[in-house]
């Protein structure tokens, strides 16, 4: 979910993400983290290009 609402000054903190992983099965968490890591790597590669 968007992370900005969780800051005292949301307009000064754009582009944040809030992840909730407190109530999820470990295999599902592992898969989600792998997918998220892949997206982050792609974004970093696109910025470097």
**Residues 6 or more apart from 8 whose CB is under 8 A from it?**
none
Q: How do residues 31-43 score in pLDDT, each as one tens digit? A: 999 999 999 999 9
Q: Give the pLDDT confidence score for residue 22 in this predicted structure.
A: 85
Q: What is the 3-state secondary structure (H, E, C) of the chain?
A: CECHHHCCCHHHCCCCECCCCCCCCHHHHHHHHHHHHHHHHHHHHHHHC
Q: How do residues 1-49 score in pLDDT, each as one tens digit? A: 788 888 999 899 898 888 888 889 999 999 999 999 999 999 999 999 8
Q: Give the pLDDT confidence score for residue 47 in this predicted structure.
A: 93
Q: Give the pLDDT confidence score for residue 19 in this predicted structure.
A: 85
pTM of this structure: 0.67
């Amino acid at each position: 979910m968007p992370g900005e609402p969780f800051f005292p000054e949301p307009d000064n903190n754009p582009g944040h993400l809030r992840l909730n992983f407190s109530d999820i099965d470990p295999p599902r968490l592992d898969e989600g983290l792998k997918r998220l890591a892949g997206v982050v790597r792609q974004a970093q590669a696109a910025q470097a290009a």
